[in-house]
Amino acid sequence: MNKRYIKMLSGLGVGAIFGFAYYYYIGCASGTCAITSNPYISTAYGAMMGLIVIWPDKEKTDETLPDSIDTADGRFKSAEHTEDVL
């Protein structure tokens, strides 16, 4: 399995545990709370929150650098003008 998928599955698992723990320890006594009154819904909600927190970002490549940066000498160049800007 890919390392990224293991990280995402662990985020799902930890989030589900926290979601169920929230239902069990805090919960909703009256039963009118939409998320915390049902253990399945609170567990699924926690799993989704865990997945959102752990979701991998896009990897940055050299293609994502803007055209206005001259990486050879570290100075910025304007895209419209050829003279250097300090």
pLDDT in tens, the chain (86 residues): 788 888 899 999 999 999 999 999 988 888 788 888 889 999 999 999 999 999 877 766 655 555 555 556 656 555 555 555 55
pLDDT for residue 14: 95
Handedness of CA 46, 51, 54, 60 (dihedral sign): negative
pLDDT for residue 67: 55
